[in-house]
Structure 1
Amino acid sequence: MGTSKMEFLQWSCEDVATWIESIGFPQYKLCFTENCVTGRKLIFVDCVHMPRLGITDFKDMQAIAARVRELLGISEVLWSRSIADPPRDIEGLFLEMKSRTGVKTDELTPQQLLEDISH
C-alpha cells in the first residue's frame, strides 16, 4: 500500500484490514475482512454502515469515518447531499463512480469522466 491518491481503489480486503490496523483499530480487522470490504467498498464506509460491519462504538465510528473521508480526500460524506447543494466536485463524483465494479468502471479515468459530463 503506497500513498498514491487513488491507490486505495485497488486495495484488497487484506489491504483494507492492514490500513484499519495502521490507523489504530486492530480490533476491527476481522469486521472488514469478514465483510470483504475492498478499497472500492471503503468509499461507502460511514457511521450508517459501520454497525452492519460489527463496529458499534460511536467514538470509534466517528474516528474511522473521519479517516475514510481523509483517505478519499473529501470533507463531507458524499451521499449526504441535498438537491439544493452546489454542483458536485469532479473528484467526489469520480470516487462515487469508481466504487462500482465492471469493465467500464475499471477503465474510467478522471479525464474520461470530465469528457462525459461536458457532452
Structure 2
Amino acid sequence: MTGITGLSRKNSFVLTIRDTDEAAAALRQALANASPEERPGLERAVALVESTAGATETRLRARWVRSRLAAAGFTGDVGSVAAVKALRQAEPRLSLLAAVQLQKEAVAHPE
C-alpha cells in the first residue's frame, strides 16, 4: 500500500508509507503452505510484490503523480504547468510547492 500524507497547504512534504514487506512475508508463508493448484498464482503474486518492494520512494511518488493525473483525465505533458494545475485540482489539499516537487519527481522518473 502506498499512502501520501502531508498534503495540507501548511505542509509541503510528502511521506510515502509502504507495507510491502508484510505483504511479501504473508504471501511467502501462504506459498509455503500452498497446495499444488495454488502455487502458480502465489508464486506470481510473490514475484510481483517483490518487484515493487525495491522501488524507491521517489519512484513511488512519481507513480502516484501519474496515477492521480490519469484519474483526473490529464493526458498532456507531465512537465507542464497544466500538469501541476491538474494535480492540484485532483488533490486540492496539495500545496503549490509540494505539487511542483512531485511533478519534478514524475518528470525525472518516467514509467
TM-score, normalising length from structure 2? 0.33
Richer in strand (by share):
2
* Greater relative CO (CA pairs within 8 A, separation 6+): 2
Which protein has the larger Cα radius of gyration, Structure 1 or Structure 2?
A: 2
TM-score (norm 1): 0.31
